[in-house]
Each structure stands twice: as structure tokens, then as C-alpha cells.
Structure 1
């Protein structure tokens, strides 16, 4: 029996990817979405048979609260480039890349057209509810467009590298052969030139693309599948991966920016319970019918409503066995505007859901430091000093000292002492590192 052994480059990246996933909650965030939509495709990527697009890897880094410029991500990008090169150099690799790039270019054009259509409809939306739905769809479509654009750029670059390697190999072969380039070398040059045209746009090297359908697989899992058949409510389990502590970023859209960044008036408990029951009933029906995109939109809409309803929704979701959806909702809440994030965290804390509040704040530390400064200010303004301290503690635990110094610069008198207290709660060495970064930034004496 022939045993296939992965190239060492792919094996090394696979090991790094497994390490990344070990830090992620498997039932929430982007990882949860990919696992539910396309477990087989995701399994192929973790087995090394396929290569995840880098934008998907970046989403997983965000899920794990890892910055894309940190040492772990930098090492991953280097391993990724080597693994992608080894994958692309397989027989038929250039043709597969060109075909996939064509698919992504079609998706990019489709998203671009849909963005214009939704924007035009939004300008003439008849009522607020319809406007909120259109804003949500528009935000997702813009995300689709951004991802497709990034993938076209990535695939074009990989094709260019293949073409350059083919040309270099042909030149080396020609130099080693008496009488000039060999026929095989010239053929390789033409093949390399056929893979990439003057502006860098890839062209299929083997005639028209055979795949006119929408792409499938974990590398395309961010796309909504139209006309998909109903699937079972429970996702197919993935192979066991190291457990650890993963989404779409739609919650910060869907009209959330238009909502006041406060918890609002006191919510009638009976009304909150009724709203939660109705939402869970609708969510279960969507899950059974395999309409995962609409189910996710429903969770995002819940975040755009009164924050005071969220504790009742959490209780109802857990009662219905949909705790994974609550985890997804918390991940989405981490992307809300700063004031809105503070309002949700405060509501959860006031309702006695301290663990949920802390999870939300931990997931929120991956956002830009300017936004985190606003969230801290909003929490303190609402009297949630314990939650503000938890946010800063999570921040100094996972972000480099330089980022903490940048955060302190947003409000030196308010944040420097609080950041130092948070760093002290983590470790003495973390406090020393932060003090050094503050000195470099000229903030140590504040």
C-alpha cells in the first residue's frame, strides 16, 4: 500500500494551525461557522490536503485574540507562504490556482454588483425595520467583496511566483544545455507566462474553467450558499483537535451604529422573556431548515435591540440547548461600537452573568486601541469599574506592551494608573515591561 507523506512545508504549517486552533473555542466565532457550514472542507485543510486562504487564517487569529503583527502570526505567515508554495508546485497546481482565481473574480464582481443594488435600495427603504435589514445585508456583502478581493490578490501573487519559478528553472536549464535553451525549458517559460498576463491578472492555463457553479469548501465558507438543501440541525463533528479557548464580524453592522450607546430604559421582564422565546423559536426553525445565514442574521438583530433583553435571551438559548449560539452572539458583541460594547457588558454584569461579561471583554481586546479606550471610558462613566478593570487586564495579558502604551496615550491621566494596576494583577514582569513601554512613550511620569 502506498502511503502519502505531506511535504515538510505543509506539515509545518499544519502544526502551527493546530496550535492556533487549540486556543479557540470550537463552538463559536469564525471557527464555529466554518465547522457548521463545511466540516469536510475544513477537515481537508487541517489534514493538509487543501490550503486555507490567508483571510480565513486572519479570522482565526482574531478569534484567538492574536494580533496579525505579533510574533506568533508572523511565524504563521512565513510557514503559510512555504506551505502554499509547496501545495501550488504539485502537478496541475497552476491550472487549479487559475481556475480558483476565476471563481473568486466572479464572486468579487457579484458582490460589487450586489453592493450597489443594496445601497440603492437602502436609500429608499420604506421603514426602519427594512432599513436595518438592508444595512445588515449591505455590511455582509461588503465583507464578501473585501474577502473576494483579498483572495484574488493572494491567488494572483501565488500564480506570479509559480510563473517566476518556471522561468527561472527554464533559464537554468538553458544555461546548462549546449546551444541555448532546451525545448522543454522554452515550453516551461511559455507555461509560466500563460499562468500570469502584464497587469498580473491570472488566466487559465488549461482552457475555460470547468467550474461555473459557486465555489464550495472551507476556503469559501464565508459565502452564503444559495438554494442549499436543508441539513440536519447538528453540524457534523470535526476530527478531535486540542481543546482550547474562534466569526463573522457582522454584529458591528446591521444598524448597531445607529443605536444609542447606553442600555436604555428598564426593560419589562415579561416582555424580555417573550421576545427571547420568540427569537429562540425562530432560530430553531432556521437551524432545522439549514438556513444558517439567516439564523446568524437573527442573532445580529438581537444585538441591535435593547441590551436589557440579552440576559433573558441567554437563559432561553441555554435552556433550548443552543449555548453555541449564545457564544457566537457574545463574539459578535465584541465587535460592537465602544459605547454599545460597554452597554452590553454592563447589562450582563448587572444581571449576574459575570462569566459572560468577562468572556465578552476578553474577546473585545483584539480591536484597535482607540476603540478600547472609548469602551473603557464608557464603562467607567456607567459605574462599571470592575468591568473596565477586567477589560484592561485582558488587554495587557494578550497584547504587547507597546499597544498598552498606545492605549494609555488616549487618556494618560485616566488610563496609565489603571493599566499599571492591570499589569500588576497579571505578573510582576508584565508590569515591568509596561513601565518600560510607558517610559519610551514619555508617559511613565503621568
Structure 2
């Protein structure tokens, strides 16, 4: 059996990367975003099988509180360039770079189209809550575009240097690091959180596979999550505590506590107001001390508490001028388990926060169709029929008709008429496309 040995330059860079990661908590900041959405891709980069895009390296430096023009960033650029040069010269390296560049160019075009669409919706928005939601979505899609543009430039440069080198012996001098990509975040960047030296060795946990998300933040590996029935999610080598928050399944929650029981738990309004005031006070203190990573954890933990308290927390956050934190919390909530997602959406609707509810459901439509079927059923079970219709309308608006047909297959008798009604609310063309997809799937007469 042939054993592949990492080039010295790649091994040196991955050691540096691991040392940097040890300074960052895995569930905060950009690291938390990348680790939650593409754990296998990030693991491959830590193992040296792939090279991180440079904009991701910059984001990790930002998470660690390192200035972009500081000495550590300069060393990172040199190590990165040397590693990328050595990695690209492996057999098939040029073809892989060209394929990756084409992928990122498609991502750039998608992001530009989506940004124009969101911009038009924002100009037509009639309420402050709706506008805030669209602004948050627009910030993310602009980040996608900025990263895609930077990666196309980087990959083009690497291809050109590979062509210039020809068949010459591998050069040891590092090439110039690619230009940094602007990365506007939808929430304040977190400050570094000290690692725990006594943390246990990295563990592995089984989790259901999720659809690979759109966007340049995750598109550096060819393999998609849909190609795996289940993935092993590694706890990356940070030395920190185990990930927590909605994107990690609400880590640490007892299996005996059901989502529905939590959602139905009655809460005193005065108690909810006190809890919200205390949470916002703690959040403000953490922000004032530069402990933004811990502030993010505090927000995530709010999602593991009684859903009935969330409207009070939303009101208190907006009263304190922390509307961006509420946007972050809703974004995290979009990855909750189906029953829990439905419970949160229902609570927001009952509290008169229809715009927040609709925004949460719009952000949740990227989930696998099986999970969406469960969320829709849970909403109907709680008599939140308007919210179930909003979820399906958002789904047929952004997902292809073939996905809608797969969703209908989970409950043809119930979902086919609901999906057709939702598609009709979008456009005549969308209804026609869905009918065709249903016929192909043998569900048109359901």
C-alpha cells in the first residue's frame, strides 16, 4: 500500500493552524460557523489533505484577536503560501485548482443574484422587523460574495504560478500571500477565549447528515454532505470545551426533556421579563469586557430554555439597542430540531412577532426535507396553520421543484395540496413547475 507523506511545508502550516485553533473556542465566531457547517471539510484542512482558503485563515486570526497587519498574520501568510505551493504541485493539482475555481465562480454569480433579490425585497420592506431580517440576510450573502471573489482571485493566482513553474523542481521560497477578503459579519466579531489545557482528547460524535449549505463560507471541498448518510463530526483540536448552541443540537440537553414539553411549559410573564433583563445585563457586561465569544454562548443557551421566554428576551434586546444579537439568535434557532423549531416559531407568532416568526422559517428552509416535513407537522399540531403555510411558501420560493416533490413524498395526502397552495401564492410559473415535478414523482393525484 502506498503511504502518502505530507510535504514539509504543508505539515508545518497545519501545525501552526492547530496551535492557532487552540486559542479559539470551537463554537464561537467564524470558527463556530465553519465548524458547524462543514466539520469534515475543516478536519481535512487540519489534517493537511486540503488547504484552507486564505479568507478562512484570516477569519480565524480575527477570532483569535490578531491584527491583520500584525507579525502573526505575516507569518501565517508566508507559511500558507509555501503550503499552498507544495500542495498544488501534487499530481492532479492543476485540474483540482481549475475545478475549484469554476465552483467558486458559480458561487460568486449565485451570491450576486441573491444579493440583488434581497436588495429589492429590502427596498420594498414595510416594517422595521422585516427590514432588519433582510439586512441580516443581505450581510451574509455579501460575505459569501466577498469570499467567493477572493477565492477566485486566489485560485487564479495559484494556477498561474503553477503554470510558470512548469516541471521545475519544487521551489522552497514562499510566494506572496493572496489579498485578504473583506468579510462583513452579521454580528460583532468575537474576542479570543482562552483554551482549557486539561480538556480531554478530541472526541467524535455521530449526527444525521444535513444538506450542504450554499455559500462561499463552506465551498472548499468537492464532496457534499448529501453524499453521506451520516457524518462523523469531530471536535476540532482547540483544547476548548465541547461545542454548545443550536448548531450543535443544544449540547448537553437531557434526552428525557422533550422539545414539545418545553414548548408547552407555562411561564409567568413577570418571571420571563426578569430572566430577559438579567440575560441582557449579563450580555452587556460581557460585550463591555470584550468577551464576545462568551456573549455568543449566552445567546445560544437562551435557545435551550423555555421558548415562552424568547419574546420577552427579544423585546429587551431591542430596548437595549442589541437588535443584532436578536438576529444572531434567530439565525441559530433556524438549526434547532424540527419540533423545537416549530415551538419557537409558534411562540413568536402567538406573541405578535409575526415578522420574526416568518424570518425564522425562511432561514430554516435550507434544512433536509425530512426535517421540514416534521416541522410542518408540528406547526399544524399546535394549530399554527399560518406559520406552516409560511414555511412551505418560503420553501417553494427558494428550493427547486424536485425538492418540493421529495417533501411531498413524506406525507402526500397532507403535503401535496399544501405545497400547491404555497406555490400558487408565489407565482403561476412556480405552481406549474411543481405540478410537473409531482407528476414525475407519481404524486400528482395524491
| Equivalent of 1:251 in 229, 246, 256 | 246
Do the aligned residues in 2 keep the contact of 1:252 with 1:337 (CA within 8 Å)?
no
**Partner Cα separation in structure 2 for residue 107 and residue 290 of structure 1:** 24
Number of the residue aligned with 2:279: 279
> Deviation at 1:416?
0.6
Normalising by structure 1, we get a TM-score of 0.54
Higher-Rg member (1/2) = 1
Match of 1:325, SS? helix
Structure ranking higher on relative contact order (CA contacts 8 Å, 6+ apart): 1
> Which of 132, 149, 170 does residue 43 from structure 2 map onto?
149
**Cα RMSD for the two superposed structures:** 4.5
CA distance in 1, matches of 2:36, 2:428: 44
Q: Aligned residue for 1:269?
A: 269
Q: Deviations over 1:31-82 (max 9, x none)?
A: xxxxxxxxxxxxxxxxxxxxxxxxxxxxxxxxxxxxxxxxxxxxxxxxxxxx
1:162 and 1:349 map into 2 onto residues whose CA distance is: 56
Structure 1 counterpart of 2:167, from 169, 176, 189? 189
Residue 149 of structure 1, CA deviation: 2.1
Structure 1: runs of 5 or more not aligned: 1-96, 119-132, 169-184, 195-204, 229-245
SS at 1:189 equivalent: coil
Paired with 2:442 and 2:164, the residues of 1 have a C-alpha distance of 61
The Cα offsets for residues 95-119 of structure 1, whole Å up to 9 and x where unpaired, read as: xx9868744455458879999xx9x
Task: Name the CA shift for 1:291/1:140 in 2 (closer, same or farther; >3 Å).
Answer: farther
1:167 Cα deviation after fit: 9.8
Mind listing any 5+ residue stretches in structure 2 that lack a counterpart?
1-6, 52-82, 96-162, 196-216, 219-242
- Distance in 2 (alpha carbons) for counterparts of 1:272 and 1:400: 41
**Mapped partners of 2:9, 2:192: distance in 1:** 19
1:216-231 to 2 correspondence within 5 Å? 225-226=192-193
Residues 167 and 267 of structure 1, relative CA distance in 2, 3 Å threshold? closer
Instruction: Call closer, same or farther: CA 1:413–1:324 in 2, change over 3 Å.
Output: same
The reply on whether 1:330 has 2:330 as its aligned counterpart is yes
Give the match for residue 343 of structure 1.
343
1:435 has 2:444 as partner: no
Q: 1:13-24, aligned counterparts within 5 Å?
A: none
Pairing 1:361-440 to 2, within 5 Å after superposition:
361-440=361-440
- Decide which structure has greater helix share: 1
Q: Normalising by the residue count of structure 2, what TM-score does the alignment of the two structures yield? A: 0.54
Counterpart in the other structure of 1:48: none
Maintained 8 Å contact 1:104/1:148 = no
